[in-house]
Chains A and B, each alone.
Chain A
């Protein structure tokens, strides 16, 4: 049919091959011992896979991406194999646990963005809402002495800021991106102001109530010796909020795709006029969706401050709200897709500080911090066009 080889097809095949090679170089007879080689080959495979996916070879491209990632990880694992298997298990379980931890704030915020964007309101302000949660979670927990109330106060703060965004983008018909940007400035100003006003230059107190970890010791008793301890080390000591994030994803999927409420949200986001005609209140639905999105994004922030680093610093969200937004797009506005993307970006964040420990790479130190952002950029560039947003997104609705 095609007189010449399609670039997408060729790249798709190349990505699969590169993935295999990434693993193979670390095995006998070559037994490469520098981690850089499988990483470089694996990343090349990843890029080729994404490209092929963008050129219409969805399944082939995806397979390439998966194989490249597995090949990269397998290759990395194999380069370290000589160090001793137990140590590798520990390192990998720590890496996976860190991936989950880094993915949690992104997941909360991405699911929040899902509600807002599915109802047709772009939410660039996720970052700011997250920051509100991060600060007011700490503030609430500190003042009330209870982490439960801290979470609630944080979510309330995020929801309040979301209400402003909702009012401006729904009733006042602001440009939603401009309004979201304003929300981010406001959050930065408000949290910074109250932070300095309350805690001065001493920082948040060290004895903050902490969100507890969930200990699953029984995981260690799962039969094959290595697997049990691997599972225990990966999933056995995670924060309560990490599990809550995973539950939120499932819940969001049920609400958005399996209930009447979700149908309304999606209808309002796809064709508000039609939804209005059948008696759905477009404004009320959008308000509710945006406020929920603020509360969820704030939850991500609360996790960051109360559940993860146990303190607050100014602008601590560091662009995570935007990464969450990218995760949402990468995940095609679907809860499980968003979770997958959040895990991918979380993995990049988790792996970045570890790369400094690779022999001879310590001097590149801070350079690795750019990894999650670069990966997000590549992912967004690779997926757009294949990922179709809700039809009425970004459009203010005018009642007739």
Chain B
């Protein structure tokens, strides 16, 4: 933060008066920081989080982080972890990967809209829409064979998410309503409509239990198969592979199709895209709908994988997981590989700080989940800072320039 800012740097899209579009900035980040800046950002955020722990509770932040790490189950990868410890680690890792699955989907949702220059913070609403739609298909057709049932239910979730996000897309394309405000309003609208639908005397509430605000459980055939762990203990379901598949799909659509090309062109510079004959409005709508489909899938897969029924808590609280998609996408630089790793990071963090996994004598889980929010905020804050990244870029260039000198000097 110094006024003696560096002299005008080689800045891509360098007209200083023109606002580089969001996608153009992201491109800059990619070239400038590579993989180093996101890693540094995450480390810095964890460092600040550690300071918070130290100053507010006086507890050793390293112990706290160690406890959180052990709760994530990532120690399963260490070959020296054996016996009972290894068994617990496997259970924990399954939970981490279940959350990672959700985060990959919601991260993809944010990232896809981002690549079109839009900021979809309506993941929560789309998640709720997807969850409820999938549950209805899961309940409605008990006689359907297993595979078509899963596909149909998940597809319904994706479609519902796409439609819900499509409202924001249409508004952006036709009247230019800013997607940030419209998606936030759609979040709250979905939250209350969802609460009404599954709540007391709501049309989707299970008539068999009038005192509980919950929908009927989906039929056995609509549940996703568990491939690692015990289905009764909430093992890892095949939605994980669907998420990986969507990561690949995301990459292919963006980089190898006309649609992806147009979406990225609009994201870089809508005016230039319009001038070259691309329908900007159409792409806004499509990008938003596809983005919503990912978020809807997150809700659908969560429902078919482990929720099995929609209750008030899942509508009002569990759906907030979609907001983490923002941090996942930004930290992952909106690329498929990046999203995978940042989803894993946040999935581990969420699972490690959950009430089930974190030893309350070391650190209160209620505090830890707020710590996660702070870390998340810091990540988003620092990932978005142009100048910090430019400084890092310059430092990297300097290092590169110095190295040959050092060699010749030696």
Contact = CB atoms under 8 A, between A and B. Distances in A.
B384 A380 contact: no
A373 B189 contact: yes
B177 A384 contact: yes
Main secondary structure of the interface of A (DSSP, over half): helix
Contacts of A318: 188
A173 B200 CA distance: 48
Contacts of B378: 182, 186
B171 interface: yes
Contact of A196 (B326, B370, B372): B370
Interface stretch (B80-88, B178-186, B230-238, B294-302): B178-186
A185 B386 CA distance: 20
Interface stretch (B15-23, B96-104, B269-277): B15-23
B46 to A, nearest CB: 14
A373 B168 CA distance: 13
Nearest to A178: B384
Interface residues of B, number: 62
A364 B191 CA distance: 14
Nearest to B366: A196
Contacts of A172: 1, 385-388
A175 B372 contact: no
Interface in A212-258: none
Interface string B172-214: 0001111011101111110111011001110000000000000
Contacts, number: 172
B188 A319 contact: yes
Contacts of A194: 56
B373 interface: yes
B389 to A, nearest CB: 9
A164 B182 contact: no
Contacts of B200: 365
B381 A189 contact: no
A173 B366 CA distance: 34
B146 interface: no
A329 B176 CA distance: 12
Contacts of B372: 189
Contact of B376 (A168, A185, A323, A381): A185
Contacts of A183: 377, 381
A194 B22 CA distance: 34
Contact of A381 (B175, B189, B375): B175
Contact of B367 (A193, A365, A399): A193
Interface residues of A, number: 60
Contact of A380 (B57, B181, B386): B181
A381 B182 CA distance: 8
Contacts of B192: 366-367, 369-370, 373
B384 A182 contact: yes
Contacts of A384: 175-178
A243 B155 CA distance: 52
A52 to B, nearest CB: 14
Contact of A366 (B5, B184, B195): B195
Contact of A396 (B326, B375, B377, B386): B386
A175 B330 CA distance: 12
B25 interface: yes
Contacts of B350: none
A192 B181 contact: no
Contact of A197 (B56, B201, B385): B56
A149 interface: no
A263 interface: no
A93 interface: no
Contacts of B176: 384-385
A190 B377 CA distance: 10
Contact of A365 (B3, B199, B327, B371): B199
A175 B21 CA distance: 9
A107 to B, nearest CB: 17
B16 A185 contact: no
A174 interface: yes
Contacts of B185: 319, 322-323, 326, 373-374, 376-377, 380
A370 B367 contact: no
Contact of B387 (A173, A201, A364, A365): A173
A66 to B, nearest CB: 21
B348 interface: no
Interface string B239-256: 000000000000000000
A192 B376 CA distance: 14
A394 interface: yes
B278 interface: no
A171 interface: yes
Interface in A300-330: 318-319, 322-323, 325-326, 329
Interface string A40-70: 0000000000000010000000000000000
Given A363-B201, A381-B177, A384-B178, A171 B195 contact: no
Contacts of A186: 373-374, 377-378, 381
Contact of B119 (A177, A201, A396, A399): A177
Given A172-B386, A179-B381, A182-B380, A400 B16 contact: yes
B5 A399 contact: yes
A184 B188 CA distance: 16
A80 interface: no
A124 interface: yes
Closest 9 CB pairs of A and B: A189-B373, A185-B377, A186-B377, A189-B374, A182-B381, A178-B384, A182-B380, A370-B192, A192-B370
28 contacts: A164-B381, A168-B381, A173-B386, A173-B387, A178-B119, A182-B377, A182-B379, A182-B384, A183-B381, A188-B377, A190-B374, A193-B367, A193-B370, A197-B367, A201-B366, A319-B185, A323-B185, A367-B193, A369-B192, A369-B195, A373-B185, A373-B188, A373-B189, A376-B185, A380-B185, A381-B171, A384-B177, A394-B19
Interface of B: 1, 3, 5, 8, 16-17, 19, 22, 25, 52, 56-57, 119, 121, 171, 175-178, 180-182, 184-189, 191-193, 195-196, 199-201, 323, 326-327, 330, 364, 366-367, 369-381, 383-388
